[in-house]
Amino acid sequence: MSDMIRFLKGEGNFRDFAKRGFLYFAMVVLFAAVVMFSYVFVSPAAGMMTAEGWIYLALASVGHAVTLGVTTYLIYLLIGGTGLRRPALWIMIILSVLMVVLLVVNRQVYAIYRFHINGFILNMLTGPGAGDIFVLDAGMVIKECCLLLLFAVATAGLYYLAAWVFKRTRKGYVWPLASVMLFCVLFGHLYHAYGAFTRHAQVVRGAVTLPYFYPLTAKSLLTKLGVKAPAGNDLDAIEVASGEIQFPLETLTVYEPDSLPDIYLILLDSWNSRGLTAEGMPNAWRFAEENTRFTEHLSSSNGTRCSVFGIYFGVPGYYWESFEAACVAPPMISRLQELGYKIQAYPAANLHNPDFRNMVFRNVADINEADPGATVLESDEKLTARFLADMASRDADSAAVNPHFSFLFYDLPHAIALPAERNTRFTPAWEYADYTRLNNDLNPTEFWNLYRNCLYEDDLLLGKVFDAIEEREAATGRKALVILSGDHGQEFNENLHNYWGHSSNFSKAQIRVPLVVRFPGGDDAGKVLGHRTTHYDVVPTIMGRYLGVENEPEVYSLGYDLTDSVADRRWHIAGANLNYAFVTPGDTILEKGGAGELNVYDPQMNPVRDYKVNAAEISAALEKLNRFFRK
């Protein structure tokens, strides 16, 4: 008994003190790993797990628990090394209890919302109207307190178990346990990199269930090294119904349209909305004046991956990993195929990074690969030449021949690089984009002029594209739907907070893009519409107007018809699952950071202190965001 008392007081030499603490740390890691492993059972992802998935999730749970808890043990050693061993012991126990209890609470949140505790949830709990959302009776509160107390006591009690083991063995089993822990940490990241690249659904979805787990991916590296994912892997064999996704919410009701337009979706990568002017882009400006221009159009993200995803799926990039794991194809693409459309892409950059080949065009055969030139300008010229050649070969087609869907994706505004002889229209201009010179005090004029010169060069190519579309229309009598936009914006420090480029904030400088639509038959030609529209509106507009889909847009998207000016787009969601934001009425930005924190900014990216939003509004926005997860 005296040995036990001395142990609990933290007495003895420091070596024994460290071993005893490590033994307790290892037990807490295992306990926390079991709690995190159980998350999968409150997620429909359990329906797609195989033996590989269960093994991966078990080992990754242990590795992640090590990552979450190792700081606690280091604090224990640091404080104990100063001689304050009893305080070190109690701090370690308290921190361990808090970690486990928070994991239990987070599991309950995950079961409801399909994501982990973050700033939005905390704001819901503390904001106005929280009582209307979370109505807890006394019995429920008592039950919850008892549950958390049980886990707290169990976590603290593990120290007594560690004391008993150490007293009997005089060992901390440091090396074997540390080796297993290190293996689990490395396995959780490295095997995820493999699973993500080879598209193993059970690995990808299992990792998503772990709270605040940001596993390694190596798609870019492996692609650059020339490694190709094997064809016909297990991800392709998993049916959507076995996962957690219900998308669309119901079977689409369709009819055969009387006529089918050719559809052209043309995107400029990183298109700043200020760049669309008569002087800077005469062909695009003339196209805008002759058709319908939307002046308040918002992208689905501030980066290419989720922006293009939002256009084709009509939902945020928040769903990318879930859709990838469940093998969900864009309903719009599927419907185009049902109607006999010939689908083709004309990319300047690789379609495999981001992996649009498998996400957007996964069921489409013979999609073009990028044909890179010596410069990005040459790549854009090549894609245009390929498109024009294909159009010329169709000119003799009659109206009865299958309609076409063409996707043109220009890259020059993203590269911001031109040969010297083509960098002359707007001066003075930088010779190249020197990112080392960027700072908050820099006058952006010369950098902006280089960017405008890039837009001008692509505009020359757009002029050829527009002409070819008109010639095709005249030759076949088939009307055309042409959508011209950008994937996302490109900031030139408009907010005066030293933001440049994209992917760094969700202000309009980075998510507002030009949108011009040529509706078949000249509908709404010459109109300038100023209501908010989003990338999510592209799919409902095409599906509802031209592809014979009768369902309401909410069944298969978060968008509406583009010309619907009364639709509720007040809470626009942009971004990915780790980092996203709601752009609220008045353009206030509520951003969920990678660590789960809530950051609030005004439209000019000035931080908003002590922001409290109505809990009911957040709850409704989050419910809309999670609409396509199974309940």
The predicted-structure confidence for 500-529, as pLDDT tens digits, reads as follows 999 999 999 999 999 999 999 876 778 999
Q: How many CB atoms lie within 10 A of CB 533?
A: 27
Residues 280, 197, single domain; the answer is no
pLDDT category at 127 given cuts 50, 70, 90 is low
H-state helical runs in 536-625: 538-546, 615-625
Residues 426, 299, single domain; the answer is yes
User: pLDDT: is 303 or 50 the higher one?
Assistant: 303
Predicted local distance difference test score (pLDDT) of residue 230: 58
CA atoms within 13 A on the CB side of 515: 26
User: pLDDT: is 121 or 8 the higher one?
Assistant: 121
Predicted local distance difference test score (pLDDT) of residue 153: 95
Q: Is the pLDDT of residue 410 over 90?
A: yes
Residues 355, 228, single domain; the answer is no
Q: What does the alpha-carbon distance between residue 32 and residue 18 come to, in Å, rounded to a whole number?
A: 21
Predicted local distance difference test score (pLDDT) of residue 43: 74
The lowest-confidence range among 225-229, 272-276, 425-429 is: 225-229
The lowest-confidence range among 47-51, 155-159, 213-217 is: 47-51
Contact status, residue 528 vs residue 293, Cβ threshold 8 Å: yes
Residue 589 in domain: no
Q: Is the pLDDT of residue 241 over 50?
A: no
Residue-wise pLDDT for 460-477, tens only, equals: 999 999 999 999 998 888
Residue 358 DSSP SS3 = helix
Predicted local distance difference test score (pLDDT) of residue 229: 61
Residues 275, 227, single domain; the answer is no
Contact status, residue 14 vs residue 84, Cβ threshold 8 Å: no
- The strand pairing partners of 480, in sequence order, are 262
Angle at 307 between CA 503 and CA 605, to 5 degrees: 40
Predicted local distance difference test score (pLDDT) of residue 595: 63
Residue 63 in domain: yes
Residue-wise pLDDT for 53-72, tens only, equals: 899 999 999 999 999 999 99
Residue-wise pLDDT for 188-214, tens only, equals: 999 998 888 876 777 877 888 898 888
Tell me the C-alpha to C-alpha distance, in Å, between residue 388 and each of 350, 409, 453, 478: 20, 14, 23, 17
Omega prior to 428 cis, within 30 of 0:
yes
Predicted local distance difference test score (pLDDT) of residue 231: 53
Own/partner pairs for 562-565, CB < 8 Å, 24+ apart?
562/294, 562/515, 562/517, 562/533, 562/537, 562/538, 563/292, 563/524, 563/529, 564/537, 565/529, 565/531
The lowest-confidence range among 5-19, 142-156, 537-551, 594-608 is: 5-19
Residue 602 in domain: no
Helix or strand run (H / E) with residue 419: none
Q: Is the pLDDT of residue 133 over 60?
A: no
Residue numbers of the domain that contains 268: 263-557
Residues 280, 191, single domain; the answer is no
User: pLDDT: is 182 or 352 the higher one?
Assistant: 182
Predicted local distance difference test score (pLDDT) of residue 51: 87
Residues 498, 360, single domain; the answer is yes
Q: Are strands 262-268 and 404-410 parallel, antiparallel or unpaired?
A: parallel
Mean pLDDT of 590-598: 77
Q: Is the pLDDT of residue 139 over 80?
A: no
Residues 309, 450, single domain; the answer is yes
Mean pLDDT of 243-249: 83
Contact status, residue 39 vs residue 110, Cβ threshold 8 Å: yes
Residues 293, 168, single domain; the answer is no
Q: What is the CATH number for 528? A: 3.40.720.10
Q: Is the pLDDT of residue 244 over 80?
A: no
User: pLDDT: is 218 or 48 the higher one?
Assistant: 218
Task: Please count the structural domains in the chain.
Answer: 2
Residues 413, 270, single domain; the answer is yes
Residue-wise pLDDT for 337-390, tens only, equals: 999 999 999 999 989 888 999 999 999 999 999 999 999 999 999 999 999 999
Which residue, 201, 236, 271, sits at the end of a domain? 236
Q: Are strands 500-501 and 342-347 parallel, antiparallel or unpaired?
A: unpaired
| Percent over 70 (pLDDT), the chain | 89
Retrieve residue 366's tokens.
């013979």
Residue 624 in domain: no
Residue 534 in domain: yes
Place of tokens 């008994």: 1
Residues 165, 274, single domain; the answer is no
Predicted local distance difference test score (pLDDT) of residue 614: 76
Mean pLDDT, all residues of the chain? 88
Inter-axis angle of helices 304-313 and 331-338, nearest 10: 50
Predicted local distance difference test score (pLDDT) of residue 401: 73
Omega prior to 248 cis, within 30 of 0:
yes
Contact status, residue 580 vs residue 591, Cβ threshold 8 Å: yes
Round the CA-based radius of gyration of the chain to a whole number and report it.
28
Which residue type does 237 have? A
Which residue, 236, 271, 301, sits at the end of a domain? 236
Q: What does the alpha-carbon distance between residue 86 and residue 91 come to, in Å, rounded to a whole number?
A: 9
Contact status, residue 493 vs residue 500, Cβ threshold 8 Å: yes
Q: What does the alpha-carbon distance between residue 405 and residue 538 come to, in Å, rounded to a whole number?
A: 14
| Percent over 90 (pLDDT), the chain | 64
The lowest-confidence range among 90-94, 196-200, 229-233 is: 229-233
β-sheet with 342-347: strand ranges across: 342-347, 404-410, 262-268, 480-486, 515-518, 292-298, 528-534
Q: Is the pLDDT of residue 145 over 70?
A: yes
Residue 87 in domain: yes
Place of tokens 């080879």: 198
Residues 214, 361, single domain; the answer is no
Residue 273 in domain: yes
Closest by CA position to 575, among listed 561, 592, 600, 598: 592
User: pLDDT: is 2 or 106 the higher one?
Assistant: 106
Q: What does the alpha-carbon distance between residue 551 and residue 529 come to, in Å, rounded to a whole number?
A: 25
Q: Is the pLDDT of residue 169 over 80?
A: yes
Residue 387 in domain: yes
Place of tokens 């900014």: 601
Q: Is the pLDDT of residue 3 over 50?
A: no
CA 408 from centre of chain: 22
User: Quick one: 242 exposed, middle or buried, by C-beta within 10 A (0-12, 13-18, 19+)?
Assistant: middle
Predicted local distance difference test score (pLDDT) of residue 7: 45
Residues 97, 20, single domain; the answer is yes
pTM, full prediction: 0.78
